[in-house]
Amino acid sequence: MNTVLAIDDDKTTLNLLNIQLSELGYRIFTESSGRQGLEIAKSFNPDIVLLDLHMPGMDGFQVLSALKKDKATKDIPVMMLTSDKGKASVIDAMRHGVVDYIVKPYNPQNLDKKIKSVIGLRGHLQADSYDDLIEVSRKGDMALVTMRGGISTKEFQSDVRTVFNAFFLKQIHGKKCIFDIRAVADMSESDLKSLKTYTEIFKDTELHIVAGKHYGTIVAGSDIEETVSLYLSFGDLELALNID
């Protein structure tokens, strides 16, 4: 049974989450105080934290920062669940390291799918090596390309030539391909140009990009989104493509 910790000063929200997620088969802890929520996270090591943004005492960003600084909690994925739908808040939250951003009121079924997506990916990443700059995995006819490091570096470009070879491109011709760039280093203008070049290699595929913290930078500094589908999180992508 997966464990969820919800931190929110709105007790109505906590009561709803308690009922809905319990019925969906989760073990759930709820806390209205950011400081107490941190203690619960350290004690029970939940599979995911649902975190409100605007709270008295410690706000969501302060709680998130404290979670990331503590060795006991730094790897717990955090999903922002808030009534703040401002674009700047979404982008800022992703840059601070949240895995997804959900605006209240939310759909319980969609929340369930997003939680399952995050927990499933967390298990996959923990089992994998982080040595490769480009890693390719498959799910049915889809290819998932995970990118890490600086994508405009010579080392990365060398891996591009090796991994994105003619045989690989022939295999995925006309199929779905997903770029996961959440682990890529901060995006410079040079990185954006490199990313656009890499997407052009996949012109014969249905290309989707999960951008995470880079979403705002890509939207503001590139026209990539005109030729590919751009997503904030894996949960958003899975909902859009109806991936189980």
The CATH number of 3-127 is 3.40.50.2300
Residues of the chain with CATH 3.30.750.24: 134-241
Instruction: Write down the pTM of the prediction.
Output: 0.82
Q: What local confidence, expressed as pLDDT, does residue 232 receive?
A: 92
Q: What local confidence, expressed as pLDDT, does residue 243 receive?
A: 73
Q: What local confidence, expressed as pLDDT, does residue 36 receive?
A: 95
Q: What local confidence, expressed as pLDDT, does residue 129 receive?
A: 45
Q: What local confidence, expressed as pLDDT, does residue 81 receive?
A: 97
- Other beta carbons within 10 Å of 241: 14
Q: What local confidence, expressed as pLDDT, does residue 127 receive?
A: 43
The dihedral formed by the CA atoms of 230, 243, 179 and 98, expressed in degrees to the nearest 10: 70
What would the two tokens of residue 214 be?
Answer: 């880079």
Angle subtended at Cα 39 by Cα 118 and Cα 45, rounded to the nearest 5 degrees: 35
User: What is the gyration radius of the CA atoms in the chain, in angstroms?
Assistant: 19
Cα within 13 Å of Cα(220), Cβ side: 11
Q: Does domain 134-241 have CATH number 3.30.360.10?
A: no
Residues of the chain with CATH 3.40.50.2300: 3-127
Which pLDDT tens digits describe the chain residue by residue (244 residues)? 899 999 999 999 999 999 999 999 999 999 999 999 999 999 999 999 999 999 999 999 999 999 999 998 999 999 999 999 998 999 999 988 899 999 999 999 999 999 998 988 765 554 444 458 999 988 778 899 999 999 999 999 999 999 999 999 998 999 999 999 998 988 889 999 999 999 999 989 999 999 999 999 998 888 887 889 999 999 999 899 887 6
